[in-house]
């Protein structure tokens, strides 16, 4: 009991209440994705301060179950794993309109999650990729919307494709993808 009182007093000194702390935790869960892969859970921190429209799209599609069962159709060792195409070919997307680019100075380092697109910078829709290693040549050209905070070892286990094209025979799938705030 005494520890709780001390904690509450410290929170008051910093201008926070226990209710504020709980609201902060809820906001974090609202901006966290649980990506379930065959080998385990990947936790992705969403970055709405960098790409609010892309984060909203990812959450909208995730809540609709869009990503559940979708394959990693392009996976290149040492580069990235790409998913989010319901056709599994790399040419498809959701029925939502394409998004305007939200490029930032965020670097494409190991664990960064970014939107895939065509040559048109404003063509991102539902496809995204997770970077295995430093891919700085992508900086300021693709919209970064998240970063893996745990479970990168499970991303590393995604079945790799052809060394150049990344095309995967019998590709791994997303088991499920959920917004953490929706998981009990």
Same domain? For 25 and 69 the reply is no
Q: Is the pLDDT of residue 17 over 50?
A: no
Highest mean pLDDT among 4-8, 26-30, 103-107: 103-107
pLDDT-based confidence at residue 27 (cuts at 50, 70, 90): low
Residue given tokens 């929170």 in the structure block: 11
Same domain? For 158 and 115 the reply is yes
Same domain? For 110 and 72 the reply is yes
Residue given tokens 């965020």 in the structure block: 106
Binning the chain into helix, strand and coil, the percentages to the nearest 5 are 25, 25, 50
The CATH code of the domain that includes 75 is: 2.40.100.10
Same domain? For 117 and 74 the reply is yes
Same domain? For 26 and 49 the reply is no
Same domain? For 12 and 89 the reply is no
Same domain? For 115 and 65 the reply is yes
Q: What order do you get walking across the sheet with 112-115 strand by strand?
A: 74-76, 80-83, 128-131, 112-115, 144-150, 40-46, 32-37, 176-179
Same domain? For 2 and 63 the reply is no
Same domain? For 132 and 156 the reply is yes
Q: How far apart are CA 23 and CA 45, in angstroms?
A: 17
Q: How far apart are CA 160 and CA 171, in angstroms?
A: 8
Same domain? For 10 and 38 the reply is no
Same domain? For 43 and 4 the reply is no
Residue given tokens 């799938």 in the structure block: 173
Q: How far apart are CA 112 and CA 155, in angstroms?
A: 11
Same domain? For 139 and 178 the reply is yes
- Domain hosting residue 25, numbered range: 1-30
What count of residues does the chain have? 184
* Domain count across the chain: 2
- Summary mean pLDDT of the chain: 89
pTM of the entire predicted model:
0.85
């Amino acid at each position: 009991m005494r520890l709780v009182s001390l904690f509450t007093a410290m929170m008051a000194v910093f201008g926070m209440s226990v209710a504020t702390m709980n609201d902060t935790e809820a906001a974090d869960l609202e901006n966290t994705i649980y990506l379930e892969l065959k080998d385990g859970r990947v936790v992705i921190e969403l970055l709405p301060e960098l790409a609010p429209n892309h984060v909203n799209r990812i959450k909208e599609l995730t809540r609709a179950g869009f990503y559940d069962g979708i394959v990693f159709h392009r996976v290149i060792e040492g580069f990235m794993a790409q998913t989010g195409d319901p056709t599994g070919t790399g040419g498809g997307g959701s029925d939502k309109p394409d998004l305007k680019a939200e490029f930032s100075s965020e670097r494409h380092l190991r664990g960064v999650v970014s939107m895939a697109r065509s040559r048109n910078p404003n063509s991102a829709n539902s496809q995204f990729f997770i970077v295995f290693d430093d891919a700085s040549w992508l900086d300021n050209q693709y919209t970064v919307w998240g970063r893996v905070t745990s479970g990168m070892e499970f991303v590393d286990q995604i079945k790799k494709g052809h060394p150049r094209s990344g095309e995967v025979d019998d590709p791994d799938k997303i088991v499920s993808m959920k917004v953490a705030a929706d998981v009990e």
